[in-house]
């Protein structure tokens, strides 16, 4: 009698509950996979858009209009701090400072990245 009751519970209601849970987990996994695919497509599209924009001469002209003054300002600060010219160079306004920091990081980051890759390539070529 007990075996028959356990068999009924395991094959009927319990089986339906477990099947329902299994489908729910599968649906959640599918939703996460779809969200991951959408994010991957967005990142790929954004990277392609930026790469296409960087091929334009206008992009580099506008970028230089911002980067050149920031570079001159940073150079003036470095020269003033090393040689103590007491030029009392003012800090950038808070509204411009985040953009200037990004420009400096981009210039030195890309230059450092290229130098690092060239050093690795030279080391690999030297081993052969």
pLDDT of 128 over the 60 cut: no
pLDDT of residue 5: 64
Q: In this predicted model, which residue has the larger pLDDT, 87 or 123?
A: 123
Tell the burial category of 73 from Cβ atoms under 10 Å away from its Cβ (0-12, 13-18, 19+).
middle
User: Whole-prediction pTM value?
Assistant: 0.44
pLDDT of 124 over the 80 cut: yes
For the chain, the average pLDDT equals 80
Per residue in 37-85, pLDDT tens? 899 999 999 888 888 887 888 888 888 888 888 888 888 888 887 887 7
- Percent of the chain at pLDDT > 90 equals 4
pLDDT of residue 57: 86
Using CA atoms, how far apart are residues 74 and 31, in angstroms rounded to an integer? 48
Using CA atoms, how far apart are residues 18 and 113, in angstroms rounded to an integer? 53
Using CA atoms, how far apart are residues 118 and 120, in angstroms rounded to an integer? 5
Residues 103/73, Cβ–Cβ less than 8 Å? no
- In the chain, where the domains are located: 1-55, 57-128
Question: String of b and e for 74-111 (b: at least 16 CB within 10 Å)?
Answer: beeeeeeeeeeeeeeeeebeeeeeeebeebeeeeeeee
């Amino acid at each position: 009698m007990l075996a028959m009751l356990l068999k009924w519970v395991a094959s009927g209601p319990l089986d339906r509950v477990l099947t329902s849970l299994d489908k729910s987990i599968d649906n959640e996994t599918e939703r996460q996979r779809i969200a991951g695919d959408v994010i991957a497509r967005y990142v790929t599209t954004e990277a392609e858009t930026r790469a296409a924009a960087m091929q334009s001469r206008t992009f580099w002209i506008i970028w230089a209009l911002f980067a050149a003054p920031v570079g001159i300002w940073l150079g003036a600060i470095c020269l003033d701090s090393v040689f103590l010219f007491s030029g009392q160079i003012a800090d950038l306004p808070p509204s411009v400072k985040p953009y200037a920091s990004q420009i400096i990081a981009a210039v030195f980051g890309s230059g450092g990245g290229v130098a690092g890759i060239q050093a690795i390539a030279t080391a690999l070529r030297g081993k052969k």
